[in-house]
């Protein structure tokens, strides 16, 4: 892991640094009256419009394969960036503005407070609940129960993407998910279709889905970007290294933070080129999808980095294998406490949507966090 150095580099040492090789991570997050006071005094900046503030910035600088990380207060960082060469100033100003500004609604759902996406697996082989809701009736009933205890979004998927999973033919996938999507949409729930196949995206949107959630960030099917763009469908773009069959064999990155950021930035550009607006895009770092345990932890600890992309951030860490390895719990269905710990770390880091299996426990944790975060 790269060491974080206190203080900022001398501007004259950045002569060869390209603007696109600068990144910012908001640190020293505060909430409630403390956040307001710090912002008013100029000692902190608003954090993505969620009522919190950040009083420090971690500056990440990439030079080839080398990564340097510098920590500084906002009061030191703001005047420092004003004396950099113009292209570096512009890059940092764009990042700070994106991190600080409020998020617009995603699929008509406000993003000013963290919200929950409930997992609805209509599969026989998903890693934690495969077969539990494999019929349309049981899947619909399960989805409704998730909504009743706090899920704002219902994410319906018909293909397992667990490590080692084999692809499912789109026709079989659609047989599994379309009746569920249609039944939930008819009840006015906000439904997301979890798929990497353009034909399934189209069929689900026709059936009433509002969001496309793709683990391949619309790279798994050459028709996917055009399909989503043509429909103006809000989309979740997830980072994955490799495929479900290969992704956990030997994950390797120059730097997991900057590599994931750059990949998602490119995928956002592809969506904007297809006609989507930035508020119609959400990003997901892909915890457990081609990541080591240390990579997963670094991403969760630094999720504020992704707010620099200017769109909502979703975290899907629920019941993941790294929680089992850290805690010694082999049964995915018994990883609720670890899942909530990861989720709340994400919330502090600015996450807008939590994709979870255990909606009721997560909603309870969020309710307490929100009460603690208010002006007391």
**Domain ranges in the chain?**
4-100, 115-373
pLDDT at position 3: 80
pLDDT at position 247: 67
Q: How many CB atoms lie within 10 A of CB 294?
A: 11
Q: CATH code for 115-373?
A: 3.20.20.20
pLDDT at position 133: 57
pTM, two decimal places: 0.94
pLDDT at position 160: 83
Alpha-carbon separation of residue 318 from 47, 119, 257 (angstroms): 24, 9, 20
* Spans in the chain with pLDDT lower than 50: 127, 376
In a 13 Å sphere around the CA of 314, the CA atoms on its Cβ side amount to: 26
How far apart (Å, rounded) are the C-alpha atoms in residues 205 and 251? 33
pLDDT at position 376: 44
Instruction: Name the 3-class secondary structure at 354.
Output: strand
pLDDT at position 101: 93
How far apart (Å, rounded) are the C-alpha atoms in residues 40 and 297? 33
Place of tokens 């912002």: 39
State the virtual CA torsion across 116, 203, 219, 229 in degrees, nearest 10.
-90
Which residues are identified as catalytic?
A: 320, 355
Q: How many CB atoms lie within 10 A of CB 254?
A: 12
| 8 A C-beta contact, residue 365 and residue 337 | no
pLDDT at position 249: 72
| 8 A C-beta contact, residue 212 and residue 314 | no
Q: How far apart are the first and last CA of the chain?
A: 38
């Amino acid at each position: 892991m790269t060491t974080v150095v206190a203080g900022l580099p001398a501007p004259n040492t950045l002569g060869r640094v390209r603007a696109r090789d600068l990144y910012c991570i908001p640190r020293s997050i505060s909430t409630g009256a403390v956040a307001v006071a710090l912002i008013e005094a100029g000692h902190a900046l608003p954090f993505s419009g969620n009522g919190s503030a950040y009083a420090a910035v971690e500056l990440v600088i990439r030079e080839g394969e080398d990564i340097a990380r510098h920590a500084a207060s906002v009061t030191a960082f703001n005047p420092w960036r004003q004396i950099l060469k113009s292209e570096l100033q512009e890059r940092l100003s764009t990042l700070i503005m994106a991190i600080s500004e409020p998020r617009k609604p995603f699929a008509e759902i406000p993003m000013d407070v963290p919200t929950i996406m409930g997992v609805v697996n209509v599969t026989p082989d998903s890693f934690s609940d495969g077969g539990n809701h494999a019929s349309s009736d049981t899947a619909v009933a399960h989805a409704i129960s998730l909504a009743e205890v706090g899920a704002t979004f219902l994410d319906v998927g018909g293909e397992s993407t667990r490590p080692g999973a084999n692809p499912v033919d789109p026709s079989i996938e659609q047989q599994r998910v379309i009746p569920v999507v249609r039944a939930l949409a008819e009840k006015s729930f906000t439904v997301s279709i979890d798929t990497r196949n353009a034909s399934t995206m189209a069929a689900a949107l026709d059936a009433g889905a509002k969001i496309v959630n793709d683990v391949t960030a619309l790279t798994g099917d050459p028709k996917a970007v055009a399909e989503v763009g043509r429909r103006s469908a809000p989309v979740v773009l997830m980072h994955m290294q490799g495929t479900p069959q290969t992704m956990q064999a030997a994950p390797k990155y120059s730097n997991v933070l900057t590599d994931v950021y750059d990949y998602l930035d490119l995928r956002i550009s592809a969506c904007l080129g297809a006609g989507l607006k930035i508020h119609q895009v959400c990003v997901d770092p892909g915890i457990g999808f081609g990541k080591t345990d240390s990579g997963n932890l670094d991403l969760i600890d630094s999720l504020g980095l992704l707010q620099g992309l200017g769109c909502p951030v979703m975290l899907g860490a629920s019941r993941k294998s790294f929680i089992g390895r850290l805690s010694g719990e082999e049964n995915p269905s018994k990883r609720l406490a670890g899942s909530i710990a990861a989720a709340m770390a994400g919330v502090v880091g600015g996450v807008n949507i939590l994709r979870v299996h255990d909606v009721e426990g997560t909603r309870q944790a969020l309710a307490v966090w929100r009460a603690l975060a208010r002006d007391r």
